[in-house]
Each structure stands twice: as C-alpha cells, then as structure tokens.
Amino acid sequence: MVVTWADRSVPLRLFQMVTKIVVVGMGYVGIPCAVLLADVDGFQVTGLQRRSKRSGYKIDVLNKGKSPFEGVEPELEEVISRVVSKGTFKATDDVEVLKDADVILIDVQTPTDAQNMPQYVSLREASANIGQRIKKGALVVVESTVAPGTTQNVVQKIIEKESGLKGGVEFDLAFSYERVMPGKLIEYLVNMPRVVGGITPRSTQRTVELYSKIVKDKIYITDTLSAELAKTIENAYRDVNIAFANEVSMICESMGVNVYDIIKVINARHDRHMHIPGAGVGGHCLPKDPWLLRYGLYEYGTWKIEPEFISLARRINNYMPVHMSNLVENALMAKGVQINEAIVTVLGAAYLEDSDDTRNTPAATLVASLQTKGVTVRLHDPYVQQWEFGPLEVEKDIYKAAKGADCLALVTKHSQYSKLDLDKIKKLMRTPTIVDGRNVFDTQSVIAKGFEYRAIGKRGIQHLASQD
C-alpha cells in the first residue's frame, strides 16, 4: 500500500464546463455531499432517492430547500436552501437521471444481518441501475462503507455486466469513504482528510479533482483495496478502544471507583488517549464495519484467520445496554421496587447526542432487555419522531415522560438532559432513581437531591455490591 497526498496546486481539469452529478442515496452522507457539490460553480447535482413510505418524504422536503433531519446540523439547511434556490440541486426518484450523469456517487446503506453478514441489497440494486444506464466516460465513486474487495468484486462486475463497458477503460471507478457523524456532517466532509483509491490512475485523478472542490484538508491517494481496508480498520480501531473503556468501566464499578477519574490521570500523559465508556455503541458504522472487515478477509483473503480481538470488542460493546438494564434492576431493588412492576423512562432514542439518527441505537437493546424483565417502558427523545423497533410512542415532553416513573435510564447525551430541573423531576417520579449511561450527572449532586443513582463506570451508593 503506497499512500501519498494529492498536490492540488495544479488543477487537473478532467471535468467539463458543466458537470452533471448524481448522488444515489439521500442519507447522512449523500445529502451533505450532494449539496456541497451543488454549491460548486459548474456542477449540477441530482439526489436520487428511492421513494418509500419511510424515506420518500426526503425528496419533497429537500426540493423545498429544507433538511429532512430533526437533529442539530450546523450549516446544512443553509446550504440546501441556497443550492435549491440556485437551481443546482434537486432530488428525485427517477433512475433515468443516471443516463446523463458524468459523475455518480453511491451513498446507499450497507448493513449487516443477524449473522453479521453484509446485506448488499441496496448496493447491488444501485450498481445494476447504474450499469443499465451509464454512459461512456462516466466516473462512479463508491462512498458507502463496504467489505474490503467489494468495489472491484461486486460493484465493478455488476456495472460491467449490465453495461457491457469495461471498468478503467470505458468508465472510471473509485472508492472514497466518508468520515461524517450526525451533528457535524458539513464540518467533517469539508475539514477531514479524504482517502481516494481508484481502480486506475485516471479514476483516482478524477476522483481527487472532484473532492478537491469541497475538501479543504489533504486528500490521500492509494489503491482501491487499501482505501476499503483503511475505512473498516479505522472503525474497528475505534470500536476496540471503546470496548476496552467499557470493560474497564465495569471493573471500576465493581471496585467502587470512578472510571472518569482514572481516564483523566491516564490521559494526562500526552501520548495516551483512553476512550470513554457508555451505554453502548450505535450508528451505521461502528456496529457493522468490524464485521465487514472480517467478511472481506474471509471472502478475499489469501488465508483465513479469525480476528478474535475485533470480534470480542463487538460483543463487549453489544453487552453495554444489557449492563444498563442490570443497573436499572439493581437501583430499583435498592428502593424496594420489583422490576416487573416498574415503570422506566428511557432518555434518548437516537444513538448520538442532539441527533435524530436511530440506526443501531443502544436504546433498542435496552428497551428490549427491560421489557423482557416485565418493565413498562416509556421513551423520551427531543429529536426522534418515531420509534422503529416496536410499538412505543416517543414522548417529547420530558416532564410528562418522567411523571409516575420509577427510574430514568439515560442512554443518549442530548444537551437537554444536562439542563433538567431535578427537583421538579423528583416530585413527578414515583421512585426517584436515575441510571446514567453517559456521565451526564454529578454523582454527589444527584444523591444529595435524594435520588438512587447508578452510572456506567461510577458507583452510586453502597447498594451496588448486592447484585454485582
């Protein structure tokens, strides 16, 4: 793997005066990337979104110059409004727009199933649609995270089969992954380094020129497989580090020590960066990308090894919402409340603070675990409109959600939760109990107000050892 970064002092000029771009998939990556490109002179961008009961509304919202996301997204709606007003961006469900595209970006979801195998239904469909309509000379860039080896062994082969064109000769193809997260979509697309791996030098050059229009940081160039590996390994690295913090947090709980004090002194050394624990890992990337890495190894590697460390990290992080459930049961036990008679209000349905993104949210596992124990579960979130994991309503009024509850179980670090009037909350609750999965509350302050308190990585009061 040879990685260099592109010298953009000399423009490559591989695009036309007016370049037509189609972005397939209007999600957390596709939308911000599409509208940033649409804000570039000479680019005409169309967002292609399958119209369904769940996602079809995005087309109408985007064409009104609005953002379909409920969470806090600095600059995004401003850019959407501007490019819609300029007429350089529109959204549609008409796949025929692919016929005129000079550049096509693939930004569809690539989830894994219950057996941790990649589900490429959307990726294969997008590739087939492109292959049936692609014109000679077009550039296709896969931005969706895929198992290493997928761009050339799946996407390229489908496009070639459907089109009769040869990749790297009659059309260009590259993989270039995103590094975005809800709440910082524009910032991360513009200011994060970019990695580009084309199937040929020309594919790489064209892709570098494309992203140089919107990326201010360095653009690193490598081969396609190395770029795919870089993305999945980067997220596996993050997942492993979080898993270590989560395991250590449970050790500290058992020993009666605050893990955040431990992290502080460890990270006081400049070359240490221990991650922070929490109620679980969510989002579209971390829960699946380690499995994509493993799949790529099994499918395309020269020999088969089991990435045990990476797999163990996934199991630890998946366990954390269950651990939260056990903390809830322990706290209620200390107050004399039977778990199967309890009302628990889960604070946060999204996986990330101040976002409406519920993909792989730890809240889903926590809710399921509590319900298995016979708990009556309520759900509060200031941004999420609908709970997709079962018949639960998402309450918007925090005080209404807390009324009569026996426990508040905080899963998501929404900024609203750090500003709660705990005195008012206590009066509303049937049993004043808090389980904190994100280190939002100060232990002594909460206990002083009369709450039974448990937290990931912290010890509340002396009852905790009874269940551990």
Return the pLDDT at 466: 40
Which architecture does CATH list for 4-223?
Answer: 3-Layer(aba) Sandwich (3.40)
Percentages helix, strand, coil for the chain (3-state, rounded to 5) are 40, 15, 45
Return the pLDDT at 306: 83
Low-confidence ranges of the chain (pLDDT < 70): 1-2, 8-17, 53-56, 460-468
Please give the Cα distance from 116 to 290 (Å, whole number). Answer: 9
The residues spanned by each domain of the chain are 4-223, 310-466
Q: Torsion over CA of 436, 413, 277 and 378, rounded to 10 degrees? A: 50
Q: Which residues, 6+ apart, have CB-to-CB distance to 266 below 8 Å?
A: 272, 274
Do the two domains 4-223 and 310-466 of this chain adopt the same fold? yes
Return the pLDDT at 11: 54
Order of strands across the sheet that contains 43-48: 4-5, 219-223, 194-198, 172-175, 139-142, 103-106, 19-24, 43-48, 89-92
Please give the Cα distance from 95 to 90 (Å, whole number). Answer: 13
Return the pLDDT at 5: 80
CATH topology of domain 310-466: Rossmann fold (3.40.50)
Return the pLDDT at 54: 65
Please give the Cα distance from 391 to 131 (Å, whole number). Answer: 40
What are the catalytic residues? 231, 285
Provide the β-strand partners of residue 90. Answer: 46
